[in-house]
Amino acid sequence: MNTRKTLSVALADRSYDIIVGHNLLRDAGQLIDPIITHEPVIVVTDDNVAGHHLGTLDLALQSAGIASTVITLPAGENTKDYDGFHNLVTSILDIGPERRSTLIALGGGVIGDITGFAASVILRGIDFIQIPTTLLAQVDSSVGGKTGINTQHGKNLVGSFYQPRLVLADTGTLDTLPRRELLAGYAEVVKYGLLGDKAFFEWLEKNADALIDGDETLRQQSVITSCRTKANIVSRDEKETGDRALLNLGHTFGHALEAETGFGEKLLHGEAVAIGIMMAFDLSTQIGLCPVEDTTRVRAHFKSVGLPVQPTDISGQAWSSTALLGHMAQDKKVRDGKITFILTRGIGNAFITSDVKISDVEALLDKAIAA
Ligand SMILES: NC(=O)c1ccc[n+]([C@@H]2O[C@H](COP(=O)([O-])OP(=O)(O)OC[C@H]3O[C@@H](n4cnc5c(N)ncnc54)[C@H](O)[C@@H]3O)[C@@H](O)[C@H]2O)c1
Ligand SMILES: [Zn+2]
């Protein structure tokens, strides 16, 4: 199937389109041409993605007559730090950008986040376009305008809300993505069903295997539904003062797990989110909010696709509930000293609360790391 779907993120004069489709990269030149007012456009990518997809983008820009220059960063989360940011900004300033210049982020969430942040501060803000190439970036990080870098104090602690001018999600680029990365992104797809769309979760239960194995139609549908949900939430609550926090389902626990494992290869973000979602469901069941059948059903789904569901699924890691709780207390989502949780009354029925007894959380953590 080669349908294209355009969704819009409605944010007054900062509104933008998300185009989802197969082989969009080939037509990227025509698609971005209306936005470009100054050349060269500056493409930022990483060395993995460059090997797979930069050639196609280059050709597309050339055939639309758009001059471009490329900055290639090392692949991996380590690029998203002060040094990586300094290098990127220096490389961009060396090119001599103007206020009308445009950056294009071609890559996963790392490239999207650091490029978006650079765009937000260079010359007090220049345009940027997201071309996400991981499932995680297509359904999550490229949409919504959160940009930033990691510091020694934690992930994404320095950054800005800065919306792209356009998002091009070419589901064909996922064909080169390692399966483990694809699955990690899939955990975020499931999250959209769990937080407010039970029918989507049921659709995923039916279609997950084929989708993961490469069915293009199903991949497009899942990206479209995910982006639509995120776009709607972001349009309502750009700066996360209200229900945008629902998107953090599984993330308070997940970030604590990632912090303990050092934000590296041992536990990918999406894997941490899968475990974190299970912890949120287990806690909700433990305190009498969520039917145990729903929790069992979600766990079975994650397991069936091969995602981890509990901390002890990560081999070679010793866990401490005190350490995990310590990380949770430092999370950005802490407000007035209270940890915000996204809990659930069942599949498709998540809600935000700061009203959780720490003793309940401790009991949950103890159980989770003993499992
Ligand atoms: N801004 C947000 O709202 C938001 C939301 C979620 C996550 N994030 C951030 O996103 C980052 C994680 O994103 P990610 O999972 O995309 O990681 P990533 O950018 O590191 O990409 C994962 C790996 O896949 C490789 N890769 C990317 N596309 C590929 C392709 N098509 N084929 C082959 N290899 C490819 C990359 O080089 C990298 O090695 C984290 O830094 C996280 O904090 C941001
Ligand atoms: Zn996430």
By the 8 A CB rule, do 119 and 94 touch?
no
By the 8 A CB rule, do 148 and 236 touch?
no
Helix or strand run (H / E) with residue 353: strand 350-353
The two tokens of residue 47 are: 């060395």
What residue's CA is closest to ligand 1, atom 7?
141
**Taking the CA atoms of the chain, what radius of gyration do you get in angstroms?**
20
Q: What is the domain partition of the chain in residue ranges?
A: 4-176, 179-370
327 is catalytic: no
The two tokens of residue 250 are: 């599984």
The ligand placed nearest to the CA atom of residue 113 is 1
Query: Interior CA angle at 310 toward 308 and 251, to 5°?
Result: 85
What residue's CA is closest to ligand 1, atom 6?
141
The CB of 258 under 6 Å from ligand 1? The reply is no
**CA-wise closest residue to 44 among 14, 18, 80:** 80
By the 8 A CB rule, do 80 and 114 touch?
yes
Q: What is the pLDDT along the chain (371 residues), one digit of tens a residue?
A: 557 999 999 888 899 999 999 999 999 999 999 999 999 999 999 999 999 999 999 999 999 999 999 999 999 999 999 999 999 999 999 999 999 999 999 999 999 999 999 999 999 999 999 999 999 999 999 999 999 999 888 888 899 999 999 999 999 999 999 999 999 999 999 999 999 999 999 999 999 999 999 999 999 999 999 999 999 998 888 888 888 999 999 999 999 999 999 888 899 999 999 999 999 999 999 999 999 999 999 999 999 999 999 999 999 899 999 999 999 887 766 666 688 999 999 999 999 999 999 999 999 999 999 97
By the 8 A CB rule, do 194 and 205 touch?
no
Give CA–CA dist 333/357, Å, rounded: 16
3-class DSSP state for residue 15?
coil
The CB of 160 under 6 Å from ligand 1? The reply is no
By the 8 A CB rule, do 136 and 107 touch?
no
Give CA–CA dist 266/172, Å, rounded: 27
Exposed/middle/buried for residue 363 (C-beta within 10 Å: 0-12, 13-18, 19+): middle
Query: Interior CA angle at 145 toward 141 and 149, to 5°?
Result: 70
Architecture of domain 4-176: 3-Layer(aba) Sandwich (3.40)
Architecture of domain 179-370: Up-down Bundle (1.20)
